[in-house]
Amino acid sequence: MSLTNDLEALLQPTADADQSQPSEVLRPPAPAPRGWEAGVRYEPGGAMVVTAPAAVQPPQDEADWRARVEDLGLAIPEGWRVRLVEARHDPAAWHRDAQGEDAVTRAVWRCRYVIEPAAPTWLSSGDVDALVRDAMRRRRKPRATADTAERALIVVYADAQAGKVGRDGGTPELVSRVAERFDRLDDHIRDLKAIGQGPSAAYWMDAGDCVENYENTAQQAYTNDLSMTEMIRVHRRITFEGLDRLAGRFERVVAATCGSNHGRVRRGREAVGPPNDDWGIEVMSQIADAYARNTDAYGHVSFVMPEKWRETVSLDIAGTTVGLAHGHQYPRPEKAGDWWRAQSFGRQAIADASILITGHYHHFRTQQLGNGRLHIQAPTLDNGSDWYTARSGEVSSAGLLVLSVSPNGWDHLRLL
């Protein structure tokens, strides 16, 4: 019988139905729910999806699957197999045992099968060795001489804590360390241009804790080597230098910052004022005011700071939403993902970010989360967290974190 014949007619009982059909298949078939009508669907790759008539007995093994499919009049080609893909038990199926009789309810099984090649299609052209050999010997596509897509350089300046004294020195050592990292930044920008992936814009991301402050712990009054105003002055001048280098190399520069625990204005250990009452945010505001006085030199530099009652910001960087937060909002670095998810539910500033940049925990860490989201925890630039080393034995390495972002995602993540 041709497959073009009416399938329902094919399934009607005949005079010798008891000999030609399996006893477990209902005759006449129970009316099937929508989507479970008996039939065949042909897939583009040649496979066939077969919905079989309802049966009293559940599907057994591959021989049973094959028999049920062949009962539909389908011929299974050589080298092909039948595979069960879905089976549902319907306890409320009804049917009539004979024409004119009342309908009765009887549980049935509804099954769907696929007829497909017995071996994957890629094996038909050779064995595994040939597959690997041919793939490794393929001719590489010529590399483009230049990447013309928009690219942005992100520079993360985190946890310098100006005024802090530790195992790696005090203010002179901090300034020297930052200056040396800025020189490495110049080299990194030159390297990107040399390989045809030079950025067209730069983003300065200050992740907070720019000053050590005096109100977080009692020891700060005895270990700091700068007064409060001197800490702010050092941070302001370092930021001026970093932004000035970027402003001289890029046609567009964006500077962003966020609230932090060491930067927060405090009375004793208690924070005062709204979340944006922060020395790091104030310094960025001072620089924005100064740049506004010289638009010829700095008119291409813009600034992003949190709203009055927020501690975080988000920016659209080359088509990717990048969030910036200090990281003191959660108790341990491994809790960043939980906090970020909660921020998304609360529709906060970083809710839609694909990349989240944080500081606070003084060591580099990165983790992929959810569907394509990336958390980057920046390393510190300070003189060392000796209290943490004494407690944990861990020693953080100072560094300036950089990465590039383009419409194709992120790359060139480095610690300078």
Asked if 323 and 285 count as a contact pair (C-beta separation under 8 A), the reply is no
Answer yes or no: is 315 within a domain.
Answer: yes
Give residue 148's pLDDT band: very low, low, confident or very high (50, 70, 90): low
pLDDT at 195 over 90: yes
CATH number for the domain harbouring residue 293: 3.60.21.10
Lowest mean pLDDT among 22-26, 63-67, 135-139, 409-413: 22-26
Q: Using the 3D structure, point to which of 123, 139, 172 is the last residue of a domain.
A: 123
Q: Using the 3D structure, point to which of 106, 123, 140 is the last residue of a domain.
A: 123
* Same domain, yes or no: 313 and 363: yes
pLDDT at 380 over 60: yes
pLDDT at 12 over 60: no
Digit-coded pLDDT (tens) for 232-267: 999 999 999 999 999 999 999 999 999 999 999 988
Answer yes or no: is 405 within a domain.
Answer: yes
Digit-coded pLDDT (tens) for 302-348: 999 999 999 999 999 999 999 999 999 999 999 999 999 999 899 99
- pLDDT at position 137: 82
| Adjacency order of strands within the sheet including 313-317 | 313-317, 320-324, 355-358, 373-377, 365-369
- 321 or 387: which carries more pLDDT confidence? 321
- pLDDT at position 119: 75
Is residue 373 helix, strand or coil?
Answer: strand
* Same domain, yes or no: 38 and 100: yes
Domain that holds residue 183: 152-415
CA distance 391 to 218: 18
Asked if 381 and 159 count as a contact pair (C-beta separation under 8 A), the reply is yes
Answer yes or no: is 232 within a domain.
Answer: yes
Using alpha carbons only, what angle is made at residue 54 by residues 52 and 56, rounded to the nearest 5 degrees?
A: 130
Answer yes or no: is 135 within a domain.
Answer: no
Distances (CA, A) of 149 to 19, 36, 201, 405: 71, 49, 12, 10
* Same domain, yes or no: 297 and 382: yes
Residue 64 carries which side chain, given as an amino acid letter? D
* Same domain, yes or no: 117 and 156: no
pLDDT at 32 over 90: no
Distances (CA, A) of 8 to 24, 37, 127, 340, 346: 18, 10, 43, 56, 55
* Same domain, yes or no: 330 and 293: yes
- Cis omega (within 30 of 0) on the bond before 28? yes
Answer yes or no: is 265 within a domain.
Answer: yes
Number of domains present in the structure of the chain: 2
Q: Using the 3D structure, point to which of 107, 123, 139 is the last residue of a domain.
A: 123
pLDDT at 30 over 60: no
* Same domain, yes or no: 299 and 261: yes
* Same domain, yes or no: 264 and 401: yes
Residue 192 tokens read as 């990107």
Answer yes or no: is 313 within a domain.
Answer: yes
Answer yes or no: is 131 within a domain.
Answer: no
CA distance 377 to 335: 12
* Same domain, yes or no: 223 and 101: no
* Same domain, yes or no: 93 and 195: no
Residue 175 tokens read as 């300034």
* Same domain, yes or no: 207 and 278: yes
* Same domain, yes or no: 160 and 108: no
pTM of the predicted structure, to 2 decimals? 0.70
- pLDDT at position 283: 97
Average pLDDT over residues 54-66: 89
How many CA atoms lie less than 13 Å away from 344 in the CB half-sphere? 14
Give residue 3's pLDDT band: very low, low, confident or very high (50, 70, 90): very low
Is residue 330 helix, strand or coil?
Answer: coil
Asked if 70 and 76 count as a contact pair (C-beta separation under 8 A), the reply is yes
pLDDT at 146 over 70: no
Answer yes or no: is 144 within a domain.
Answer: no
Asked if 248 and 215 count as a contact pair (C-beta separation under 8 A), the reply is no
Is residue 277 helix, strand or coil?
Answer: coil
CA distance 242 to 257: 14
Lowest mean pLDDT among 27-36, 194-203, 204-213: 27-36
- pLDDT at position 4: 45
- pLDDT at position 162: 95
- pLDDT at position 43: 84
* Same domain, yes or no: 52 and 189: no
Residue 189 tokens read as 């920008």
